[in-house]
Amino acid sequence: MNRDSPRAPATLPFRPITASHILNCSFHSWHPIFRSITPKARVIPLTPPFIAYLRADGIVLPAETNPDDSGYEDEEEEDPSEHWRDVHDNIRATIDELGGKVAPKLNWSAPKDATWISATNDMECRTPNDIYLLLKSSDFITHDLEQAFDGCVDETEIPYHLVLRKSFNLNPSLEFRCFVRNRTLIAISQREMNYFEFLFDLRKAFKSKIQEFLDQLSTFPDPNFVFDVYIPPPHNRIWLIDINPWAPRTDPLLFSWLELLQMPEPEDHLLFDPEFRLVQRDDPEAYQFAATKYSAHKLPKDVVDASMTPSDMKRMMEEWKKVMEKEVDDDEDDDEDDDNGET
């Protein structure tokens, strides 16, 4: 290590992060303003009983009321949707309205870490139960519910919403994260951490398009924010996918937050040339396709299977209890043997 090299600060030099900034980045806040430049989506207000259902332990799905539903029907168990039937019916109607296939998210996060539990291994949902299964299996959703204001200097009430986006084929190589500081685009990063040779020929044109696109976000209330875009073929239109907080919780991808925070202020905002980073052929990131994304969030299959049916979960817990009791009995027998001088 070079002892003369400057040390990174113990804490990142962010300005105080407020609850209002976090709420401004909630989908339900910005979508009405930028609806014309976002993929088709619907926003469903969530009631306290439904939020309580998401927070509750275990995965209990509503009984099947439609042959296409993927849930189970257990006459011994109470149908949880009885307490939020209006939300359930709204979700079903919205799925139909959007063509029968949707991708869900909460105010800020999509349950991308839970796709492993889906039969199709993606976020495409065809029934309300498909949605509930993803939401209740996701640590990202739990963060929205329990830690939305982590790191903020204040807190406030959160109006929770479920976002259902019409499902469409999205090429992840054409998604980009854009960093705005003092209303100036200072950096752009590829989102999919794999090497795509064709992107290098498109980089200059994409940068110009994104800079122009920022003008359409001029009414966003905060001067600092991060937004995600999708530029599908033939690359003559940009879709706004998300707006993220200017905060440590937002992944800076091919940059570091220290870099972004310490970039010098441009003398002329109109002439400033943002850095546009792509994964290089020899970058370590280019080989992340070999690793399973969000693998740290997975649970053992037997636990998930059991949690789907409360009776199975009860049986599994009873088996665990017997094992633990046996281990305790064995330990007590060993202690008695030691007290008797036996070896």
pTM of the model: 0.79
Asked whether the predicted pLDDT for residue 301 surpasses 70, the reply is: no
SS3 category, 242: strand
- The answer to whether residues 297 and 113 touch, using CB atoms and an 8 Å cutoff, is yes
CA distance 287 to 305: 32
CA distance 157 to 62: 28
pLDDT at res. 72: 44
The pLDDT mean for the chain works out to 84
pLDDT tens string 7-41: 545 578 899 999 999 999 999 999 999 999 999 99
pLDDT tens string 90-122: 999 999 999 999 999 999 999 999 999 988 899
CA distance 161 to 47: 9
User: Exposure pattern of 99-133 as b/e (b: 16+ CB <10 Å)?
Assistant: eeebbbbbbbbbbbbbbbbbeeeebbbbbbbbbbb
| Full set of structural domains in the chain with CATH | 19-166 (no CATH), 172-286 (3.30.470)
